[in-house]
A = this chain, B = another copy of it.
Amino acid sequence: MRLSRFLLPTLKETPSEAEIVSHRLMLRAGMIRQHASGIYNWLPLGLRVLRKIEQVVREEQDATGAQEILMPTIQSADLWRESGRYDDYGKEMLRIVDRHERDMLYGPTHEEVATDVFRKNVKSYRALPQNLYQIQWKFRDEVRPRFGVMRGREFLMKDNYSFDLTYEGARHSYNKMFVAYLRTFARLGLKAIPMAADTGPIGGKLSHEFIILADTGESAVFCHRDLLDKPAPENVDYDSDLQPLVDSWTSLYAATDEMHRPDHGVPEGDLVSARGIEVGHIFHFGTKYSAPMGATVTAPDGSSQAVFMGSYGIGVSRLVAGIIEASHDDNGIIWPDGVAPFDIGVINLKVGDAATDGVCADLYGRLRAAGKDVLFDDTDDRAGAKFATMDLIGLPWQVIAGPKGVAKGMVELKERATGERHELSIDSALAKLLG
């Protein structure tokens, strides 16, 4: 993409309305613009990141055998009356009356709709387990939306709903998501720690929040130091017994503020006390929805049984901000490779200089031909502004070409994360970037 044709309205000034660094940087980098309180437009740079995160989430869900569907944003209130939540849900639910005076709502979550899809289309235990997921916009009418897309009103989530005949089956479905989440967040360049979460009236222990540590986190969290370096699982066979793997994580203490207890038993030197941002939540809730809504299957013995369910959420739009909170410096964003809006930025320091133009066009063409996403700064801005913009938007690599270097057949290669710059021959730079 040529920057001269790309809508990238960066801001030099720090927007006064932004309280946290991710919100400031997303505005300054031209990723988002507020439409109304808690509601955002995603500009080209921001949307590219959102889609990359979405794709990582999708691939890891597909690997577990979960199936992607898409449920509507506008839902009938009737289903929520069946589950009993219509009256209980507070003002966060955006309630709507349609032209025929029917009560509708903009889905803040999809348990009811997913349960309805299941009960209408699956009748026998033989079709179990099922795990249906979607990546869909939701709306929660927060009383005080803040922190940009970190706590917006219209937000993108990946949400799954699993359906099993037995508790044991449901626990396996839960474990699959536990492992898939570890892998997903690792691929996003994040260190997300599963922490025991409240199960409320459901009871049991099958509820975990996945928390990333960041100074600007919304709440205090506590965990055993060993969790910080524990690598995400690789080469997972999701049909195998995942319990030992899950236990290897849950046996190490980790708790959010509400769940933190004095008798945690972690030696003082091993207890990490930090602030965290919730980016995922997995929860087994048994027959909470299936029983009242009649989501039953025929069991092997011919009886009709309400299915055991769980739901599993990842805040996709929130993750854009979460990744920035975890990965930035004074100059701007530092994107992890897997979610960067472009892999490489090519900077032409002297547009109009034939030799430099030629080298840049050649680099741009060859990098793209090799399958790289490249942003080519072909504008006539001055060098300092170009450097500042490229650092601000945080692409992993920059290739900088100016007349002096080009005369010697050299360009500069800069790694955004370390700030290291090296002068290299053009071929060496290409080899390094494509190696």
Contacts and interface: CB of A to CB of B under 8 A. Distances in A.
B122 A153 contact: no
Interface in A1-59: 5-7, 9, 30, 33, 35-36, 39-44, 47, 50
Interface residues of A, number: 50
B35 A76 contact: yes
A127 B379 CA distance: 11
B67 A42 contact: no
Given A40-B72, A73-B137, A117-B33, A98 B104 contact: no
A65 interface: yes
13 contacts: A7-B69, A7-B121, A7-B122, A7-B127, A33-B121, A36-B104, A39-B74, A41-B113, A42-B71, A47-B69, A96-B96, A99-B141, A137-B137
B75 A35 contact: yes
Contacts of A5: 65, 67
B41 A70 contact: yes
A98 B67 contact: no
A185 interface: no
B74 A154 contact: yes
Contacts of A104: 36
B67 A113 contact: no
Given A43-B121, A99-B141, A72 B154 contact: yes
Nearest to A39: B72
Nearest to A9: B121
A116 interface: yes
A139 interface: yes
Contacts of A35: 71-72, 75-76, 113, 116
Copy count, this protein chain: 2
A261 interface: no
B36 A76 contact: yes
Going nearest first, the 6 A-B pairs with the smallest beta carbon separation are A9-B121, A42-B70, A36-B76, A91-B99, A39-B72, A44-B67
Nearest to A71: B41
A143 interface: yes
A408 interface: no
Interface of A: 5-7, 9, 30, 33, 35-36, 39-44, 47, 50, 65, 67-76, 91, 94, 96, 98-99, 102, 104, 106, 113, 116-117, 120-122, 127, 130, 132, 137, 139, 141, 143, 153-154
Given A43-B69, A73-B154, A74-B154, 6 more contacts: A5-B65, A35-B75, A36-B72, A73-B137, A74-B139, A137-B137
Nearest to A117: B41
Contacts of A141: 98-99
Given A7-B121, A7-B132, A104-B36, A42 B65 contact: no
A382 to B, nearest CB: 16
A96 to B, nearest CB: 5
Contacts of A132: 7
A426 B130 CA distance: 33
Given A98-B141, A113-B35, A117-B33, A44 B69 contact: yes
B69 A41 contact: yes
A99 B89 CA distance: 13
Contacts of A76: 35-36, 39
